[in-house]
Structure 1
Amino acid sequence: MARLRSVSVLVIGAGLVLAGCGDDQPAAGGSTPTSTPATAPTTPGTPADDAPVTTPPAPVVAEELRFTAKTVDGKEFSGESLAGKPAVLWFWAPWCPNCQAEAPTIAAAARSAGDVEFVGVAAQDEVPAMREFVQRYDLGSFTHIADTDAAVWKRFGVTYQPAYAFVSSDGKVETETDQLDKDELLARLGALS
């Protein structure tokens, strides 16, 4: 027990001696030494900590994209989600023979469009017919809006189908009301990317 007590005293004494070895102690001349704070080296081109942080500008939201709507699956969709990226809106109706004829081309183009986002905008019919059209023509790889009151069609100036709206990443919208063949559609997609 006496041996344990002497080891404890020794450990405590060593701790006190070490604690007294810090920079707080006066130097031989009686004054407290000053220390210079360490600074991280700066790399050329690296902003200083106090430099203002710049954030990229918000994407331009075209007036046509300022809408919300329900999809054929009943989910909320915001047109503003397309701002800042290239997109194609395809306006169609389930009973339209031209829409039916171009649906396979649209499906293939949407799957291979890279960074161009596709959105279908269905109108002039009931939601169950719209859902059935999406399934029949394998168009489920992209979102389809159930524009039952044609409000989105009106925003883009669309009065008949099929039609397109091409949205560039800088917010420019160009509506095309003529039916496009595969080559014309691919050329328009290439111009967006």
Structure 2
Amino acid sequence: MRARSFFPAVLAAGLLTVTGCGSGGRSTSPDDAGTDGSTTATASAPASADSSPSGAVPEALRFTGTTLDGEPFDGATLAGKPAVLWFWAPWCPKCKAQGPETAKVAAEFKGKVNVVGVAGLDQPEAMKKFVSSTKIDGFPNLSDEPGTIWKKFEITEQSTYIVLDKDGKTVFTGVLPGGKGLSDKLDGLVG
């Protein structure tokens, strides 16, 4: 009987972790995650997969999705340049606060760094409204309703940034309140 009452408490705690606005960062290893996925984004794909020095696509960039506009998205197109993956949810006030700074950084580093939003934990219509209201339509935003990309990168809370170098190696994973400090994280990655 005790085990039955314990299980719902553990399940509830796990759900709170996934659905609460992010409050801290943690390290992840995308190399340990799966490679399959289909999900959703806004805008066109940035670069060619052949732009990486070796022509090989790093494991971290082996994912696919669909834009909020219904266009296919392939993570391999991010190869060869540093990339920012921003995991957000449309109802998250911390994510909303990060939107303007993330858009500013995406514009500042356009052509040098790929920025991609990965929305989850809601429906596409709410995601589209979030993109419009926060004016983050200058870079792709993926609708990851099934959580495939979130799982690949072991994301357990929204408002998390992952910064990858040009070789697809994770150099930062964490929360940046208001997006502050994101530009600093990219300065050393672009030459």
TM class, shorter-chain normalised? 0.5 to 0.7
Runs of at least 4 residues off by over 2 Å: 56-62, 177-183
- Counterpart amino acid of residue 61 in structure 1: V
1:1-193 pair list within 5 angstroms? 57-114=53-110, 115-193=112-190
- Counterpart amino acid of residue 154 in structure 1: K
Give the total of aligned pairs: 138
TM (normalized to structure 1)? 0.66
Structure with more contact order per residue of length (Cα contacts < 8 Å, sep ≥ 6): 2
Contiguous gaps of at least 5 residues in structure 2: 1-51
CA distance in 2, matches of 1:70, 1:102: 23
Contiguous gaps of at least 5 residues in structure 1: 1-55
- Counterpart amino acid of residue 109 in structure 2: A
- Counterpart amino acid of residue 76 in structure 2: E
- Counterpart amino acid of residue 122 in structure 1: A
Per-residue deviation, 1:165: 1.4
Per-residue deviation, 1:170: 2.1
Alpha-carbon displacement from aligned partner over 1:33-89 (angstroms, at most 9, x marks no partner): xxxxxxxxxxxxxxxxxxxxxxx9534422221111111111100011111111111
- Counterpart amino acid of residue 191 in structure 1: G
Gap change, CA 1:104 and 1:96, over 3 Å in 2: same
CA distance in 2, matches of 1:190, 1:175: 13
- Counterpart amino acid of residue 153 in structure 2: F
CA distance in 1, matches of 2:152, 2:126: 23
Gap change, CA 1:107 and 1:77, over 3 Å in 2: same
**Contact residue 71 and residue 144 of structure 1 kept, 8 A:** yes
Gap change, CA 1:72 and 1:180, over 3 Å in 2: same
Indicate the percent of aligned positions where both proteins have the same amino acid: 41
- Counterpart amino acid of residue 141 in structure 1: G
TM (normalized to structure 2)? 0.67
**Contact residue 59 and residue 170 of structure 1 kept, 8 A:** no
Aligned-residue Cα RMSD (Å) equals 1.7
Q: Larger C-alpha radius of gyration, 1 or 2?
A: 1
**Contact residue 107 and residue 141 of structure 1 kept, 8 A:** yes
CA distance in 2, matches of 1:160, 1:68: 21
